[in-house]
C-alpha cells in the first residue's frame, strides 16, 4: 500500500459548521484539491462516508487497485476520510472505493465534490482546478442593475445538447462554440437572460440533465470547466445574465452516484416514503440531515461564486414541499402536526434562500412551484420561502388552453385569460412557456394554434405579445421564438432552416421587437410584480373577444395602453376609455407586415376625445387589427 500522508484542510470550526448544517463552502474542503505539502505537489482528497470501514482512492495513477491509497478517518466523528497523495496531477481520473461497515458492502463511487467528470458513458471523476481569469468585472460590478425585480427579465431557456448541432455527424457544439454562436443569437434577439437546463454532470441524456451525479461539475459533453466559464463570461460581456437550473429535489440511483453512498442512506432519506420519488424513480435528499443541507447549500453557493451565475431556477419545488406528492394514500406519512407539508424541506428552502441572498448582491432565486403554496416568493422574515420569483404555472396552463380554441368559441372563455389578474400579484411571477410544454405529445407552441397558416402565425404573435405585456417576467423555450413546428427533440438540433420562410422569420422579428419593448418601456417592468403597475380598461367585452389594460411605471408619462383582439375580425371604430387628454401614439403592433401581419396600422397620432367611456372622462376610437396586440402611449 502506498503511503497516504496525513493532512487536512479542515479546522475544528469547519467540522462544527458541517455537523450543524451551516458549512456553505464545503467545496473548499471536501473533494480533490491540488495543493503542495512540504514542497511536494499532489492532491488532497476528502470524502464524507461515516459508515465506511475503509475508503481508498483508486485511479489511473494506481491502476485502480483498492487499498493502494487508503484514506484515514478523522477522529472527530464527522465521518470524513482524508489524506494527501503526492505526485497526482491535474487530469488524473479517480473514484472512491468504499467498504461499508454495514455488512462489508464495497461500492465504487464518483466524488460528490468533483469539479470535473469523465465524459459519459464513462463515470470517473477528474482532478481539476477552478483557475480562470474573468473579464466580466463591469457586469459583476453593476449586476444588481440588471437582475433587480424592477428590471426586465426576458429569459431564453436553452438545452445545450439540442440548441444547435454540427453537420451530418450531429455532434454537440462545444462551450466555446456556444460562446460565439449562442451569445450572438441571444444578443440579436434581445433576451436579457439565458437559462440553461441543468449543466451539472448527468449520466443519461434522456433525463435532459435533471438526474444529476456531478453536482459541482459542468457536464464534460461540451468541454471542461474553464470553457464553461468562458461561455458565462462572454454572455456577461454581452450584457446577458445567466440562470442555471438547479435540482435539489432528487437524484438518480446510478451505481457511481450519491445513492447508498457508503453502504447506508447517506444523502437520501432512509424512509422510502420520503426518500424515493415514484414519478422519476429517483432518490430524494434527506433535508432534515445537517450534512446534506450543507452539501446542497454549498452547491448553490459554488455556482454563484465560481461560475458568476446570476440566478438559480430551482426545479420541482412542489415535489419537495409535499409529503404526498405523487403518492397514494398509505404511501406517505403526515408531519408532526398532521399536515402534508414537508417541514424539513420548508426549513431547508428558507435557509437556502437566506444563504444565497446574504452572500451575493444582485442575484435571484426562482421557484418552479406548481401549487398554491403560499408566499413562495416572499421574504423569510415575513414567513415566506424567500425566493425572488415563482413560475406562474396557472397562467401558462389557462393561456395555452384558451389559445388552442377556435376563435369563434373564445368569447365563451375570456375568463380563462382575465382570471390570472385575480392572483397575479400574490407572488413575484415569471410567465413560462418552457420545455415541458413542447414535449410528450403536447405539440409545439406554434402547433397548438388554430386556423389556417396565416391565422396560426397571427395567433402565435398574439400569444407572445399578450405574454410580454402581461405583468411579470418572461421565459421562452428555445425554438419557440421562431415558431418551431415540431415538438422538441433533445437528440436533434432545432429546425433552424425554418427561418428561410417569412412567417417564421416574422415570429423571430416579433420576439425581437417585444424584447426591445419590454426592455425600453419602464411601464412594462418597473412595477411588474406590483398591483400599482396594472389597471384594467375593459376586461368584460367577451362578445368581441377584446380586452384592454394599462401598464404603469414610476412615471405616469411612461404608461402603456394595451389592447388585445383575440379574433381575426378587424374591429373598426373600437372605442376605449382613456385616463386623460392628449394624443395616442402606437408603439407596437403585432399585425405589422414586417412580422407577417396584414398591416392594419394606426395613424401616426390619434387625438383623444372628451367623450366619456369605460368609466373614464376621455376616450378614443381606433381600428383593431385581426388577432393582434397593439400598444400605445399618450403623448
Q: Which residues does the annotation mark as catalytic?
A: 315, 368
Residue 316 CA to its chain's centroid (Å): 11
SS3 of residue 83 by DSSP: strand
Distance CA 123, CA 454 (A): 50
SS3 of residue 448 by DSSP: helix
Q: Which residues contact 442 (CB under 8 A, 6 or more apart)?
A: 448, 487
Compute CA distances 56 → 111, 201, 411, 512, whole Å: 12, 23, 69, 55
Q: Which residues contact 246 (CB under 8 A, 6 or more apart)?
A: 198, 299, 300, 303, 312, 313, 314, 315
Q: Which of 459, 427, 588, 613 lies closest to 523 in space, CA to CA?
A: 588
Distance CA 228, CA 220 (A): 9
Residue 212 CA to its chain's centroid (Å): 15
Distance CA 307, CA 548 (A): 43
SS3 of residue 382 by DSSP: helix
CB 458 within 8 A of CB 597: yes
Q: What is the largest CA-CA distance in the chain?
A: 94
DSSP bridge partners of 628: 565
Amino acid at each position: 500500500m502506498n503511503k497516504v500522508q496525513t493532512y487536512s484542510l479542515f479546522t475544528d470550526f469547519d467540522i462544527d459548521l458541517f455537523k450543524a448544517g451551516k458549512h456553505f463552502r464545503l467545496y473548499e474542503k471536501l473533494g480533490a484539491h491540488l495543493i503542495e505539502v512540504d514542497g511536494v505537489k499532489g492532491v488532497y482528497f476528502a470524502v464524507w462516508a461515516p459508515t465506511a470501514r475503509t475508503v481508498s482512492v483508486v485511479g489511473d495513477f494506481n491502476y485502480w487497485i483498492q487499498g493502494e491509497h487508503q484514506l484515514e478517518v478523522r477522529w472527530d466523528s464527522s465521518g470524513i476520510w482524508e489524506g494527501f497523495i503526492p505526485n497526482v496531477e491535474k487530469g488524473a481520473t479517480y473514484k472512491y472505493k468504499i467498504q461499508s461497515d454495514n455488512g462489508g458492502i464495497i461500492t465504487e463511487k464518483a466524488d460528490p465534490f468533483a469539479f470535473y467528470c469523465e465524459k459519459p458513458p464513462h463515470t470517473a471523476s477528474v482532478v481539476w482546478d477552478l483557475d480562470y481569469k474573468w473579464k466580466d468585472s463591469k457586469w459583476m460590478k453593476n449586476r444588481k442593475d440588471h437582475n433587480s425585480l424592477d428590471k426586465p427579465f426576458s429569459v431564453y431557456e436553452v438545452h445545450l445538447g439540442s440548441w444547435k448541432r454540427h453537420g451530418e455527424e450531429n455532434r454537440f457544439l462545444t462551450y466555446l462554440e456556444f460562446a460565439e454562436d449562442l451569445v450572438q443569437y441571444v444578443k440579436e434577439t434581445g433576451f436579457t437572460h439565458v437559462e440553461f437546463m441543468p449543466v451539472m454532470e448527468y449520466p443519461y441524456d434522456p433525463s435532459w440533465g435533471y438526474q444529476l451525479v456531478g453536482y459541482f461539475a459542468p457536464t464534460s459533453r461540451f468541454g471542461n470547466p474553464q470553457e464553461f466559464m468562458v461561455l458565462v463570461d462572454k454572455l456577461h460581456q454581452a450584457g446577458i445574465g445567466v440562470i442555471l437550473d438547479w435540482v435539489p429535489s432528487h437524484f438518480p440511483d446510478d451505481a457511481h452516484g450519491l445513492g447508498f453512498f457508503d453502504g447506508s442512506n447517506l444523502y437520501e432519506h432512509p424512509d422510502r416514503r420520503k426518500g424515493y420519488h415514484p414519478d422519476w424513480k429517483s432518490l430524494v435528499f434527506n433535508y432534515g440531515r445537517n450534512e446534506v443541507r450543507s452539501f446542497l447549500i454549498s452547491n448553490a453557493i459554488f455556482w454563484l461564486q465560481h461560475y458568476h451565475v446570476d440566478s438559480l431556477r430551482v426545479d420541482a419545488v412542489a415535489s419537495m414541499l409535499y409529503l404526498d406528492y405523487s403518492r397514494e394514500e398509505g404511501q406517505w406519512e403526515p408531519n408532526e402536526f398532521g399536515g402534508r407539508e414537508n417541514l424539513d424541506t420548508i426549513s431547508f428552502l428558507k435557509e437556502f434562500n437566506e444563504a444565497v441572498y446574504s452572500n451575493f448582491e444582485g442575484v435571484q432565486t426562482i421557484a418552479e412551484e406548481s401549487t398554491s403554496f403560499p408566499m413562495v416568493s416572499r421574504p423569510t422574515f415575513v414567513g415566506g420561502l424567500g425566493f425572488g420569483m415563482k413560475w406562474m404555472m396557472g397562467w401558462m396552463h389557462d393561456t395555452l388552453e384558451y389559445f388552442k380554441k377556435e376563435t369563434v368559441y373564445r368569447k365563451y372563455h375570456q375568463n380563462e385569460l382575465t382570471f390570472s389578474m385575480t392572483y397575479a400579484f400574490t407572488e413575484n411571477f415569471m410567465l413560462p412557456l418552457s420545455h415541458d410544454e413542447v414535449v410528450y405529445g403536447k405539440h409545439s407552441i406554434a402547433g397548438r394554434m388554430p386556423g389556417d397558416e396565416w391565422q396560426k402565425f397571427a395567433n402565435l404573435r398574439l400569444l407572445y405579445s399578450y405574454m410580454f405585456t402581461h405583468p411579470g417576467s418572461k421565459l421562452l423555450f428555445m425554438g419557440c421564438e421562431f415558431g418551431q413546428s415540431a415538438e422538441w427533440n433533445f437528440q436533434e438540433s432545432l429546425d433552424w432552416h425554418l427561418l428561410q420562410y417569412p412567417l417564421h422569420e416574422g415570429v423571430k422579428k416579433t420576439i425581437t421587437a417585444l424584447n426591445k419593448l419590454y426592455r425600453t418601456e419602464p411601464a412594462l417592468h418597473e412595477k411588474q410584480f406590483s398591483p400599482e403597475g396594472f389597471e384594467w380598461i375593459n376586461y368584460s367585452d367577451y362578445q368581441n373577444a377584446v380586452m384592454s389594460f394599462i401598464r404603469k411605471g414610476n412615471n405616469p408619462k411612461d404608461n402603456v395602453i394595451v389592447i388585445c383582439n383575440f379574433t381575426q375580425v378587424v374591429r373598426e371604430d373600437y372605442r376605449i376609455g382613456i385616463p386623460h387628454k392628449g394624443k395616442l401614439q402606437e408603439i407596437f403592433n403585432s399585425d405589422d407586415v414586417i412580422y407577417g401581419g396584414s398591416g392594419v396600422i394606426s395613424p401616426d397620432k390619434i387625438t383623444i376625445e372628451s367623450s366619456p367611456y369605460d368609466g373614464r372622462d376621455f376616450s378614443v376610437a381606433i381600428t383593431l387589427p385581426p388577432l393582434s396586440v397593439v400598444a400605445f402611449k399618450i403623448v
